[in-house]
Structure 1
C-alpha cells in the first residue's frame, strides 16, 4: 500500500518515540525507546512523555531550532543580510530561487507534520489522564504546539492572508495516525482562511486551558504564551483590535507573575528564561539544534565560533543611531568577524550553541500594542509613542517626540532583527523586498516534490 509521506512521516511510520515516563526535561528523550503508536499512550506518564517529545521536536533545526527563524530572514534579505554559506538549500532561499526538492522546504514540512501527529496522539489519549488539572494543561500545550505549527506552515507554504482567504494553505491533519491504513489517507490542502481558523481555534483553546504559570517549569508554555502567540496571529491577519487587546493583557496581567522587560538589550539572549521570555526553546551544551550543520549559532555567529554564513549588510546597520545599544557601535549584539570569513559584521544574538532560543518576547508585545493602537487611533494600555519609547529607552536610543507608522515598523526591524519576523512583516504590511512584491509566488515555499508524488491530493504552488 502506498502511504502519503505527509501522513507517514507524521505517524513516524507506525511508531511513537517516547521518553522515560518520569521525564521532566525537554530534551530528556531517548529516541531508541519506541512503542507501537496504537497502544503507546495508555497512562498519564506516557502522555506526559509524548508531550515532552513534541517540545523536543520544536527545538530541532527543522523547526524553531533554525528554520522558523532563519528562513524568514533569508527570504527578505535585501539591504539586510548576505548568505555566504556553502549550503545550496539556504543559498536558494536567499536568492529566492527554490526548487520543489529544496532540502529546507522538505525537512521543515515533514517534521512539522510529524510533530502535529504527536499532538493529535496526545489529544486522543487525554481520557487516560485522570487528574483534571494535568488533563487541561496537557490539552492546552498540545493545542498550542499544533496551532503554532499550522501558523508557521501556512505563512511559509501559502500566500499571505491579505492575498485572499481562498488561496491554498496547508493540509489540516487533525486526527492521529496510528495504523498504516490511517497513514495512507491523502489529505488536500485547506484554504488559507481555513488554516487560520484552525490556528485561532487551537490557540484560543490553549489560552483557556493553560495556567498562568506552568507547573512543569521553564520551556513549557502557559496562558501568556498562548495570548502572545494569538496576538502575533491576529497582527498577521490585520485584526488590530484583537492583537492590541491580547498584547495589552500580556503586558499588564503578565506583570503580576513577573513578566517584565529585562534591564539590558542582551539579557533576553544571554539569560535563560528571562523576565521577558514568553516562550523559548530550552537548550544546553549537550542538547541543542546543532554545532556543525544546524542551529542558529552555527549560521549567524562569527566564523571563529560558528560558520559565519550570515553577514549583516551596511544599509541595515546604518538604521541604528550611534548611541543605540542594539546597534553595531555598541558591540553588544553585533561584532566584526575575525575568523575565516573576517571583515563582515555578524549578529551575536545567537552566539552560544547551548543558549536558549527566545521565540516570543515581551518586547514584541509592546511593539504589537503600539502598532495596533496606532492603526485604531486608540491608546489602550499606553499611547503608541509611549510604547515605542519604552523599547527605545532601554536601548539608549533617542526618545521620539512624535510617532508615525513608519517609525513603529522601523522599531520592529531594529528590535526583532534576526528573530524570524522580517518576511512576515513585509507580507502583512504589503511592502516589497528588493523587486519582489509582498504577494510574489517567489516568496512562497514549494510543496515538497516527494510529498506531491505520494499524495495526489496535494497541489503545487505557482512557479514550481
Structure 2
C-alpha cells in the first residue's frame, strides 16, 4: 500500500520592526508531522480536519464574520472591547503584518487548504486501493474541492481589492495565491506569487463546479454536516452574484430553490440555534459545533455570556428599517426605549455550541430576486422570491403588497439588509454595490485591505505586500 507522509513545514522568518529588533517567527502548516494516509479512515480524518479548519473561530466560525461587521456600517462598536494589536487596528483600518488575529486567520485558512490538497493528491494519484476507496473517491474529492474554494474565496474578500462588477473579465488587481498543490516535503511549493482577483474567481468557480458535479455523481444532494451538491450550487450563486454575473447567479440560486430540499423556517431564529448534526430546513451549509468543540466565535461579540457589554450594538437607524409588524424587529434586534440602544438578538443566547450557518435558503431567495432584476429577466418568480422572505418575517401580519417594477430593486436591497444583518454580509455587499463602508470610506479604499502576515512575507519570496 502506498503511503503519503505529511511533513510539518517550519522555517525561521526574520524581519525588522520599528524598534530595530529582529524577531524569529515559525510558519507551520499545521499538518500533523509524519501522519501517514494508509486507509480510507485516515483520508476521512484529514478531510474532517479541513472542516475543522473552516470551523475555527479564526476563520468562518468567527472572525470572518466579526471583522466584516467591524468594517461595515450596521453596528456601533464598544471601543473598550477592542484589543490592542488586534481588533482595534482592524476597526481603525490600520492593520500591520504582526496582528495576531490576522496571522491566525491567514495561516489557519491556508492550513485548511493544504489539507484539502493532500486529500485531492491521494485521490488523483490513486495512493490507496480497494473497493472502499473507489466508493468514496468522488465524494471526498468533491468535498475537498468545495472547502478549498470556500477558504480561498473568503480570504480573498479581506486581502484583495473587491471584484469590480463593471469590469468583468479584467480584474487584474492583486488577489491571493491560489494553492492547488500539497506541501509534502520541506519548502516545496511555498514560493508562489499572488494570482489576480480575476484568476482567483476563475479558480474558485472551477473548483466549485467540479465539486458540484462530483457530489451529484456521489448522490450527496444535501448534508447537515458536510459539503453537498446543493451547497456547491449555493456557493456558486454567492460568488457569481459577488462578481456581477447575475445570469449564472440566478441559475444556481434557482437550482437550490426548486430542489425541494430546503424551505424557510417559520421560526426566524431556528437556523442559528442548532447544534451537532441537527440542521434547520433553511440551512444549506453549516459548520457543526458540539459541546466538545464550542468553537462558534460569533455569538459572544453580540451577546457576551459573562454579563459584560457586547462588542456590537446596532446603529440607531436600524430601528427604522423594520416595520412594527415585521417579526425581525423583535427577533433580530431589541430596541431599549430607555437607553436608546439597539441590542442584537440574532445570536441570543451566546452559546458556543451552536452551529454556524454559512449559507442559507433565504440568501438564495434574495440572490435570485436581485439577479433577475439586474439581468433584465423579471418574472412573477422574481416577485415571489422577494416576497417569500418578507412574508415569512411578517407571519400572520402579512398583507399582500403591490410594488412597481421600478421600486422592486430598492425593495430587494433593503430586504437583503433586513434579513442578512449581522451575518457578515453587509461589508461585502456594499463593495459589490460600490457603496461606502463605515465612516464613508469608499468601497475600494486600500485602507480596507488587511496586511499580509509577516510569516508569509518572509517565507514566500514572490509575495507582494498590500499598500
Same fold by TM (over 0.5)? Answer: yes
Counterpart pick for 2:109 among 107, 112, 134? 112
Equivalent residue number for residue 419 of structure 2: 415
Equivalent residue number for residue 375 of structure 2: 376
Deviation at residue 125 of structure 1 after TM alignment = 1.0
Counterpart pick for 1:102 among 95, 99, 102? 99
1:43 and 1:2 map into 2 onto residues whose CA distance is 27
Q: Is the 8 A contact 1:44 1:129 kept in 2?
A: no
Deviation at residue 95 of structure 1 after TM alignment = 2.5
Equivalent residue number for residue 121 of structure 1: 118
Q: In the alignment, does 2:302 pair up with 1:300? A: yes
Deviates more, 1:343-352 or 1:260-269: 343-352
Q: Is the 8 A contact 2:221 2:230 kept in 1?
A: no
Equivalent residue number for residue 52 of structure 2: 56
Q: Is the 8 A contact 1:283 1:356 kept in 2?
A: yes
Deviation at residue 386 of structure 1 after TM alignment = 2.0
Q: Is the 8 A contact 2:158 2:450 kept in 1?
A: yes
Q: Is the 8 A contact 2:99 2:453 kept in 1?
A: yes
Secondary structure of 1:181's match? coil
The TM-score normalised by the length of structure 1 is 0.85
Q: Is the 8 A contact 1:81 1:310 kept in 2?
A: yes
Equivalent residue number for residue 20 of structure 1: none
Deviation at residue 114 of structure 1 after TM alignment = 0.5
1:61 and 1:122 map into 2 onto residues whose CA distance is 23
2:154 and 2:374 map into 1 onto residues whose CA distance is 25
Secondary structure of 2:343's match? strand
1:16-35 deviation digits (Å, cap 9, x = unpaired):
3xxxxxxxxxxxxxxxxxx5
Q: 1:216 to 1:370 in 2, by over 3 A?
A: closer
Secondary structure of 2:373's match? helix
Deviation at residue 3 of structure 1 after TM alignment = 3.6
1:341-376 deviation digits (Å, cap 9, x = unpaired):
x97433222232211111000000000000000112
Counterpart pick for 1:444 among 445, 449, 461? 449
Q: How does 1:314-333 map to 2 (within 5 A)?
A: 314-327=316-329, 330=330, 332-333=331-332
Q: In the alignment, does 2:75 pair up with 1:80? A: yes
Deviation at residue 307 of structure 1 after TM alignment = 5.8
Equivalent residue number for residue 29 of structure 2: 11
Equivalent residue number for residue 436 of structure 2: 432
Q: Is the 8 A contact 2:194 2:463 kept in 1?
A: yes
Q: How does 1:35-434 map to 2 (within 5 A)?
A: 35-37=33-35, 40-77=36-73, 79-84=74-79, 85-88=81-84, 89-126=86-123, 127=126, 128=128, 130=130, 131-162=133-164, 165-182=171-188, 185-211=190-216, 214=220, 218-253=224-259, 255=260, 258-271=261-274, 272-289=278-295, 295-302=297-304, 304=306, 308-327=310-329, 330=330, 332-335=331-334, 344-351=341-348, 352-379=351-378, 382-396=380-394, 400-402=401-403, 403-433=407-437, 434=439
2:309 and 2:153 map into 1 onto residues whose CA distance is 30
Q: 1:9 to 1:306 in 2, by over 3 A?
A: farther
1:369 and 1:10 map into 2 onto residues whose CA distance is 41
The TM-score normalised by the length of structure 2 is 0.84
Q: 1:299 to 1:365 in 2, by over 3 A?
A: same
Q: What value does the CA root-mean-square deviation take over the aligned residues?
A: 2.6
Deviation at residue 105 of structure 1 after TM alignment = 2.0
2:306 and 2:10 map into 1 onto residues whose CA distance is 47
Deviation at residue 149 of structure 1 after TM alignment = 0.8
Q: Is the 8 A contact 1:83 1:91 kept in 2?
A: no
How many residues align structurally? 423
2:393 and 2:292 map into 1 onto residues whose CA distance is 33
Deviation at residue 455 of structure 1 after TM alignment = 2.0
Secondary structure of 2:187's match? helix
Q: 1:244 to 1:118 in 2, by over 3 A?
A: same
Q: 1:455 to 1:262 in 2, by over 3 A?
A: same
Deviation at residue 91 of structure 1 after TM alignment = 2.5
1:193-226 deviation digits (Å, cap 9, x = unpaired):
1111110111011100114864995311110000
Structure 2 unaligned runs (5+)? 1-8, 14-25
Structure 1 unaligned runs (5+)? 17-34
